[in-house]
Amino acid sequence: MRIVPLGRQPYTVTEPAMRAFTTARGPDTEDELWLVEHDPVFTQGIAGRDGHVLAAGEIPVVRTDRGGQVTYHGPGQIVAYPLLDLRRRGYYVKEYVYRIEQAVLDTLLHFGITGHRVRSAPGIYVRLDDPFGHGVLRVDSADPFRGLGKIAALGIKISNHRSYHGVALNVAMDLAPFARIDPCGYAGLKTIDLQALGVQVDVGVAGQRLALALQNRLA
């Protein structure tokens, strides 16, 4: 899998480039992993509800063809876009999602943080009161996000067994724009980044670590 560091780009440049790569690729095209920071933008999934955008203000809202609801991208967040031929790799969508999430968990663990999955809510979460603890997460059925902060959001698209879109890991960013939306469609869902958890790391270094984990888990 070829790693392609794109630096900082507007979402409106990267997103159509992903679609063009996916449409044009052939059976022998090498898989790629794009790493990018985006200018501030809210992105809506294909079934995203406008009501989940509370106050976009000066930040543009872009509709996409990925799954999921609204999320925010901005500087200090590393976004990884695996552009893969899943048929050639030999696994289906559920396993693909699991592998991406596991790569994020591996990345967090490298920095000493324990991440968690929440059933039916793709992405990775941390316990705000004990992000470095290794205890089993006990989910409150009445409020599954109680005491949790979302540190990585996942939204993918599969077309003819080819993947695009991907996963965003919050590293050291301005988290305030998340308050302008219902993140991933969940009102009141807290978001967090590595910096707020006390982990000081350059976004490029975090991106390299995430890329390594994705290479391992998506192999």
Task: From the candidates 100, 167, 184, 214, give the one annotated as an active-site residue.
Answer: 184
CA distances from 85 to 12, 44, 56, 98, 129 (A): 23, 24, 35, 16, 40
Task: Assess whether 168 carries a catalytic annotation.
Answer: no
Residues 6+ apart with CB under 8 A from 134: 114
Q: Which residues on adjacent β-strands are paired with residue 103?
A: none
Produce one character per residue of 6-15: b if its CB has 16 or more CB atoms within 10 Å, e if not: eeebebeebb
- H-type alpha helices, the chain: 11-24, 86-89, 93-110, 203-217
CA distances from 39 to 4, 69, 138 (A): 18, 19, 36
C-beta atoms surrounding 126 within 10 Å: 26
Catalytic sites, residue numbers: 184
